Amino acid sequence: MTNSIRELEDAKVIFVIGSNMTEAHPVISYYVKRAVQKGAILIVNDPRRIDLVNWATMHIQHKVGTDVAYINGLMHEIFANGWAKEEYLRECTENPEVIREVAAAYPLERASAICEVPIEQMKEVARILGEAEAVSVCYTLGITEHICGTDNVKTLANLQMVLGNIGKRSAGLNPLRGQNNVQGACDMGALPDVFHNYQPVANPEVSAKIAKAWGVDKLPTKPGYKKPTIIDKALDGGTKILYCVGDNAVQSDPHMAHTIRAMQSLELFIVCDIFPNITTPYAHVIFPDTSWAEEDGTFSNTERRMQRVRKVLTPPGEARPHWWVLQELGKRLGKDLGFTSANAIWEDMRSSSTGFAGITWERIHQYGLQWPCPTLQHPGTPFLHAQGRFSRGKGLFHAVEWIPPAEWADEEYPFVLSTGRRLWHYHTRTQTGNVAGLEAIFPEELLEINPEDAEKLGISSGDMVRVSSRRGSIEVKAWVTDRSPRGVCWCAFHFEDACANVLTNNAFDPVTETAEYKVSAVKIKKISDGVGWDTPIRRQARP
């Protein structure tokens, strides 16, 4: 997030797109709802009728996978009415002519034809955004899990720069990160092209500096492969060893059959985890890991705040912290990595980073600190690019054209399947599947399907249906609900036996290699009558 969570409460306009935050980030949704109580305008842009719509001023149901066309259309209207912040464009951005050109190509008629949002609604949204003093944009995987995910994010950045909303309080561009420490995994350089603190591996000076800090002669400067490529390469022998920590990849990656074939092709597959899952059966070696309550350390949250995690339990059996395993392997491979404790590792990291250099465990004993925090006196950074002074100098617009999803509904596969998260579960359920209570509330996956579609197919809530894509098929119970728009069905990947990722498309964004989880073409067939159930109208994402 460019900005901080608490700032949302004071926002005047909040534009939420592709984010089911009452389920996936409930505490952030509390602040958004508070803002609405204080009079803020909330625009929820989502093909699905998610719970947050109950608090929204407007709900825009654009067609799945048309975000770029929709936002470009809004920018066209913003420029046409003189709502663009011209001074900001002049002073704070490098190439405003680029965005004028892009917006000019998306008159409302064209944009509306693509995204299927009525022109009047688009005009109203553009007016609200254009006239607002500040707009906070929140997005999640509804934006990124497309073959054009990078384009989607760039388009939102374009919008916020046109509106002059980067670099001030209660505004900005705010991705809500999904997992507890996915921000931290990036911060710490578990990425193929950067070290910790986003220092590029291909930069010879950086590489030399880190090599010196780590006490090695040299480090590889060719960026590595991204996760989907690593998995693909297992099939042609390019990947022979996979060392996998805390990642149930078979269940969480798209096109499950493909992932399994890749795992089976590995010569050495090492898995380090806290529970057996559907990935562990393919392992050659399993290391039992400690859980979140069994070791000391830190997590980085979505607002870049680094916070402490503490050991309160003795781990079961022989489970050991993962860094200890790596230290032992390092020794056996001829290198003492110096991992003597989690805090020692933190200090090792800190000594060769600049943006985190001011963050010590002592300083975050009570409250976390938000990076950048370069010195021990620095108070941390609640929002980035203050006064429109961007980290890179001036804001850069990217010309982005809309492209359709890799796969779309056709005669054979007439529905679009989209996926996401439910309130009651987390990711592949390795944690929540072992929590008394959550399993009882939501014990099995449900396919959400629009009432009109269900009627045509003769499906009632509770019936078992078979959902098939070009990649596989699952059997799942149907939930007939207007949460799904016509033509779109939805289920999550929490349950291994009715998992959306059997069906999802392994088509990727070319830059980030994020898969298009949000769009797969499927067909639905009823296989048996269910018991059915009464569906009282409840806002809690369960039937």
Partner 1 sequence: MNIELNGKIYEVEPGQTILEAARSHGVYIPTLCYHAKTGGVGKCRVCVVEVEGMRGIVTACTVQVGEDMKIVTESPSLRKHRKMVVDLLLSAGHHDCLSCAQCGNCELQDVAYSLGLTHPSFPQPERKPEDLSSEFLVFDETKCIQCGRCIQGDNCTVINDTLGFAYRGADTKVSFDHDLPIGSSSCVQCGECVQLCPTGALTDKKARGLGRNWELEKVNTTCPYCGVGCQMTLHVDRKQNRIVRVTGREDAFNEGMLCVKGRYGYDFPSSPKRLTHPMIRKNGVLEQVSWEEALDYTATRIKEIVDRDGPDVFSAFGSGRITNENNYAIQKFTRAVIGTNNVDHCART
Site for partner 1 in 431-460 (CB under 8 A): 431-432, 434-438, 440-441
Both tokens of 122, joined, read 């688009």
Minimum distance from residue 386 beta carbon to partner 1 (Å)? 19
Name the amino acid, one letter, at 274. I
Binding residue for partner 1 (CB under 8 A) from 18, 96, 321, 395? 321
Question: Based on CB atoms, which residue is closest to partner 1, 161 or 369?
Answer: 369
* Spatial CA neighbour of 539 closest among 4, 26, 10: 26
Residues 76-115 that bind partner 1 (CB under 8 A): none
User: Of 80 and 329, which CB lies nearer to partner 1 in the complex structure?
Assistant: 329
Shortest approach of partner 1 to residue 288 CB, angstroms? Answer: 4
In angstroms, rounded to a whole number, what is the distance separating the alpha carbons of residues 195 and 323? 17
Pattern 462-501, partner 1, x by CB under 8 A: ----------------------------------------
The answer to whether 404 contacts partner 1 (rule: CB under 8 A) is no
- Return the residue matching tokens 């707009």: 135
Q: Which of 112, 298, 469, 520 binds partner 1 (CB under 8 A)?
A: 298
Count Cβ atoms within 10 A of the Cβ of residue 21 and give its class: 0-12 exposed, 13-18 middle, 19 or more buried. Answer: buried
CA 143 from chain centre, in angstroms, equals: 8
User: 192, 374, 462, 472: which one contacts partner 1 (CB under 8 A)?
Assistant: 192
Q: Does the protein bind partner 1 through residue 383 (CB under 8 A)?
A: no
Q: Determine the 3-state secondary structure of 200 from DSSP.
A: strand
The angle subtended at Cα 177 by Cα 426 and Cα 78, nearest 5°, is: 130
Q: Alpha carbon 508 to chain centroid distance?
A: 14
State which residue, 288 or 530, has the beta carbon closest to partner 1. Answer: 288
Q: Which is nearer to partner 1, 344 or 376 (CB)?
A: 344
Q: Would you say 318 or 362 has its CB closer to partner 1?
A: 318
Q: Does 220 bind partner 1 (CB under 8 A)?
A: yes
Kindly indicate which of the ranges 56-64, 332-340, 412-420, 462-470 contains the residues binding partner 1, using the contact rule CB under 8 A. 332-340
174 token code pair? 């705010």
- Which one of 178, 374, 487, 530 is in contact with partner 1 (CB under 8 A)? 178
Which CB, 154 or 196, lies closer to partner 1? 196
Closest to partner 1 by CB, 431 or 473: 431
**Contact partners, residue 336, CB within 8 Å, separation at least 6:** 327, 330
Binding mask 1-30 for partner 1 (x = CB under 8 A): ---xxx-----------------xxxxx-x
Q: By CB under 8 A, name the one of 77, 187, 232, 448 that touches partner 1.
A: 187
Which lies closer to partner 1 via its Cβ, residue 168 or residue 304?
Answer: 304
**String of DSSP letters for 442-484:** S-S-EEEE-HHHHHHHT--TT-EEEEEETTEEEEEEEEE-TTS
Q: How far is the CB of 115 from partner 1 (least distance, A)?
A: 26
390 forms part of the interface with partner 1 (CB under 8 A):
no
Strand partners, 446: 477
Q: How far is the CB of 229 from partner 1 (least distance, A)?
A: 9
Quote the least distance from Cβ 329 to partner 1, whole Å.
Answer: 5
Name the 3-class secondary structure at 143. helix
Collapsing DSSP to helix, strand or coil, 271 comes out as: strand
CA 283, CA 262: separation in Å to the nearest integer? 12
**Which residue from 309, 396, 464, 507 is in contact with partner 1, where contact means CB under 8 A?**
309
Find the binding residues for partner 1 in span 24-63 (CB under 8 A): 24-28, 30, 33-34, 37, 55
Q: With contacts defined by CB under 8 A, how many residues of the chain interact with partner 1? A: 148
Virtual torsion, Cα 44, 45, 47, 52, nearest 10 deg: -20
Residue choice 71, 325, 384, 416 for contact with partner 1 (CB under 8 A): 325
Q: Does 264 bind partner 1 (CB under 8 A)?
A: no
CB atoms within 10 A of CB 215: 10
Q: Which of 283, 446, 459, 478 binds partner 1 (CB under 8 A)?
A: 283
CB 520 within 8 A of CB 416: yes
Residue 38 C-beta-side C-alpha neighbours within 13 Å: 13
CA dihedral (327, 276, 491, 436) positive or negative: negative
